[in-house]
Amino acid sequence: MAAEFGNFDFRDSPIAAQLADDVKTRDRLEHSVFPRPKFTRLISVTNQKGGVGKTTTVVNLAASLALEGMKVLVIDMDPQGNASTALSIPHGDARKPSSYDVLVNNLPISECIKQNTKIDLLSVVPSTIELASADLYLANVEGKEFQMKKAVEKHLATEGVYYDYIFFDCPPSMGILVVNALTAANEILVTIQAEYYALEGLALLNDTVRLVKQRYNPDLKITSALVTMFDGRTNLSGEVYTEVKNFFPDQTFNTVIPRNVQVSEAPSHQETVITYDPRSTGSLAYREAALELAKRGIDG
């Protein structure tokens, strides 16, 4: 018998509906195969607007893919170091090798990699606050836009080194850090918050990508667009998704990332939501997004 209170049937409640959806999603994911890419996919996750879920998306997609048997490296290009923290690497010790040392001191990536403590196939090149001064130190360096690209290519050319995915977590700006990430990548994943003002930067982002393609990286392309902080109770979220789909008709994920308490809580525990609360709605959404990303391999 359905639980009822007065005339209210709990089967019709939003919570019950969400729980039913989560059960279906878990079952679907358990029976899904994540295709392995034929070559290393180098993905910059970017948007020049802050607070749109870039770092959250990087760490949770990376964790999801690694748990499905992919070897994944996250390169933290944001001086705030939130991706490093979420992947269990304490932020703030400038003495530890970091992405700053790769860019400014030409330190090999192999000397900067730290292993995630929760997931064996997931590692990170962490960030430190020193990265905020990279623009200054690289100002007069010839070919400064290619520092990360050269480092990644050298690392991947090392015998025995292979990654299925390398993610670059970008700061919300358009300086040398973002240019290095876009020059080193062959794909861009754009995150867009499901709010009105989040749409304003998309034309600017397209202009930025066009400029980087012309000057530094002709192979760069926007392959994916993911709507985050989606609230299915509001018309606005649906309208924003439709606008994003119109702007990126082939790139927009069918999956959306909902507003979810567990997604917000996980970083404070130095975890991704994938390991913090695997059964949560947010975790399942990111796992579905990771599956969709895996199936969107750019060589088909």
Distance CA 208, CA 176 (A): 12
d(CA 238, CA 9): 27
| Burial (CB count <10 Å: 0-12, 13-18, 19+), residue 132 | middle
pLDDT in tens, 134-156: 989 998 899 999 999 999 999 99
Q: Output the pTM of the full model.
A: 0.91
Q: Which residues of the chain have pLDDT under 70?
A: 1-20, 22, 91-94, 298-300
192 phi and psi angles, rounded to 5 deg: -130, 120
How far apart, in Å, do the first and last CA atoms of the chain sit?
49
The whole-number pLDDT of residue 90 equals 77
CATH class, 46-295 region:
alpha beta
Relative to beta strand 187-193, strand 122-125 is unpaired
Report d(CA 40, CA 231) in Å as an integer.
Answer: 34
Residue 261: alpha-carbon gap to chain centroid: 18
Query: Where are the domains positioned within the chain?
Result: 46-295
- pLDDT on residue 24: 75
Instruction: State the pLDDT at residue 151.
Output: 98
Specify the pLDDT at position 22.
65
Per the structure block, which two tokens stand in for 29? 């994911």
